Structure 1
Amino acid sequence: MPNRYSEKALRESQGFGVRAIPVLRPLGWLARGWQDLWQAPLASLAHGLVMATFGALLFALARDRFWLLAGAFTGFLIVAPILATGLYALSRELDRGGQPSWRTVRDAWRPRDGRLIVFGVLLAFAGTGWVLCSAAFVTGFATDPVHSPRDFLLKVVLNDESRLFATWLMLGAVLAAPVFASTVVAIPALVDLPPHKLGVLGAVFTSWKVVLAHPAPIALWAALILALTLVGMATALLGLILVVPWLGHASWHAYRDLVTRRPD
């Protein structure tokens, strides 16, 4: 039976509607996100620089344990939405006609109600779970030890005698899909609305409502996020300096475009 918390979350999600959108609307979110990036370039690019630096540090620490690195980078994608909180705040200020600044970012990260902290901890657990699962899977089923990117490419990706890479990708997709569905609009909504209007579980329910209403556009949005992130990583992580804020701002516009508030 549902408990009080889930019943409250369900009532909260019922206070939001989902706006109809065409399949290719995610391209419009990217266009608007690009505009926001260059209206607040310093604060936006700083987010990308932090992410790229963290990725480089991760690579430096795990370069000799690539089985761990592969899972860590994909786990990093799971946690990334909470790290983009400051970018949502910048876009919200631009939507209001204001002039976003470093103070806008600082205020977004100030733990006033704890909802974002709770969500961040939950995503961190999900990311850590995938890292451990990925590491155990690759090391357990690879025919030879995997220590470097070259080992991973030759012994996992290009191994014709094994379906390990395809299975690894499928496993990652199965684990990542519900996390993505839970965060599509949830974190921007928590940034936008006060605690008495929306809790963590209510935000997750609202996000799932969006996904169920628009599976095709959301699938395209997920593919665009993955493609741009891979481009950012393939450029020695330097591309993430641009890709991270671009996607963060675009995610805000996805939320604003998809979710409508019903009268109280």
Structure 2
Amino acid sequence: MVQTIGNPLSWGAQAAVGTGHALADATSGMRSDPNVSPRVNTIGLREVGLALRLGWRDFLHLRSDVLMLVVIYPIVGLLLAGFAFHAALLPLLFPLVSGFALLGPIAAIGLYAMSRHAETDPAPRWGTAFASLDGHMIGPVLTMGLYLLALFTLWVASALAIYNVTLGPAMPTSVMGFARDVLTTPEGWTLAWLGIGVGGLFALIVLVTTLTSLPMLIDRPVGLPVAVAASLRVARKNPLAVIAWGIVVAALLLLGSLPLFLGLIVVLPVLGHGTWHLYRLAIDFDD
């Protein structure tokens, strides 16, 4: 049907109705669906290895699209490092770079969508994958994004507090001086161990709450409470596999950060696709 230009009042009413429908979809996605009951499977190290292999397969199959999708993340990493040096906040360089991984699950939304779309389309494209997402996931995904951003902020604040009670509060004047203080003084070793312990706690919280919840929200409109509860059940039922996956993620992110974060161009898509396949192995639905 031919669309004509209406008067401003009718156009505004149509826009308001469309916005209302979008907000209703986003809000409805926050509620649990009583008709959906995810079934948690038993997984082990074999499934962790299989998820990684499938993630690598998807990376190779979708490489042209994935590289464009994730090339921004090494740039962001360099910007974080540049900010820390420029602002003379060297103690926050490692927390900023490592804490950026706390936002990884929300940054991998596009990768989950691509792996999902690749299950039915032999030649998927990222535009088509995003087009398949509906309004029901906007509210839950936005909420999870704010949750991860809050954890990232708390981690950076915690790291700064740890520095202040160990080597601070004065900021170091050079990279070499800061490295020498961290590696050769008791206060520096205390800073390192406290930072690793507290950072590991934040990483564990993110891991158990998002491992399967975000892929599930991309997969179907289950509601945010159902998705998060299922992710916690996966961690409770399969602690060895979940911890192993967390170690793999941490190790690959560390390797991918060298040199100059360029390895993340490969590591991020492999982990993103692998997380999708781990979700498929860990969760079943009755339908």
* TM-score of the two chains, using structure 2 as the length reference: 0.80
2:274 pairs with 1:250: yes
CA distance in structure 2 between the aligned counterparts of 1:207 and 1:119, rounded to whole angstroms: 13
Q: Aligned residues, how many?
A: 253
Which residue of 218, 241, 249 corresponds with 1:191?
Answer: 218
CA distance in structure 1 between the aligned counterparts of 2:60 and 2:74, rounded to whole angstroms: 19
Alignment of 1:119-130 (within 5 A): 119-130=144-155
2:261 pairs with 1:217: no
Work out the percentage of aligned pairs sharing the same amino acid: 28
Residue 3 of structure 2 is matched in structure 1 by none
Residue 286 of structure 2 is matched in structure 1 by 262
2:90 pairs with 1:66: yes
| Structure 2 contact 77–97 (Cα < 8 Å) conserved | yes
Q: Structure 1 residues 110 and 237 mapped into 2: Cα distance closer, same or farther (>3 Å)? A: farther
> What one-letter code is carried by the residue in structure 2 that aligns with 1:155?
D
Residue 165 of structure 2 is matched in structure 1 by 140
| Structure 1 contact 33–247 (Cα < 8 Å) conserved | yes
| 3-state secondary structure, aligned to 2:43 | coil
Which residue of 207, 224, 230 corresponds with 1:180?
Answer: 207
| Structure 1 contact 67–147 (Cα < 8 Å) conserved | no
| Structure 1 contact 88–248 (Cα < 8 Å) conserved | yes
| Structure 2 contact 110–130 (Cα < 8 Å) conserved | yes
Alignment of 1:44-59 (within 5 A): 44-59=66-81
Residue 16 of structure 1 is matched in structure 2 by 38
1:217 CA drift (Å) = 0.9
1:148 CA drift (Å) = 5.4
For residues 164-189 of structure 1, give each alpha carbon's deviation from its aligned partner in whole angstroms, at most 9, with x where no partner exists.
21111111112321221101111111
Which residue of 182, 193, 205 corresponds with 1:156?
Answer: 182
Alignment of 1:55-94 (within 5 A): 55-63=77-85, 64-94=88-118
| Structure 2 contact 38–284 (Cα < 8 Å) conserved | yes
> What one-letter code is carried by the residue in structure 2 that aligns with 1:185?
T
CA distance in structure 2 between the aligned counterparts of 1:157 and 1:86, rounded to whole angstroms: 40
1:159 CA drift (Å) = 3.0
Residue 118 of structure 1 is matched in structure 2 by 143
Q: Structure 1 residues 24 and 155 mapped into 2: Cα distance closer, same or farther (>3 Å)? A: farther
Residue 3 of structure 1 is matched in structure 2 by none
2:196 pairs with 1:169: yes
Runs of 4+ off more than 6 Å: none
Question: Mean alpha-carbon deviation: is it higher for 42-51 or for 142-151?
Answer: 142-151
For residues 163-215 of structure 1, give each alpha carbon's deviation from its aligned partner in whole angstroms, at most 9, with x where no partner exists.
22111111111232122110111111111012xxx222221111010001100
Which residue of 123, 135, 140 corresponds with 1:99?
Answer: 123
> What one-letter code is carried by the residue in structure 2 that aligns with 1:55?
G
CA distance in structure 2 between the aligned counterparts of 1:69 and 1:26, rounded to whole angstroms: 31
| Structure 2 contact 213–230 (Cα < 8 Å) conserved | yes
| Structure 2 contact 217–227 (Cα < 8 Å) conserved | yes
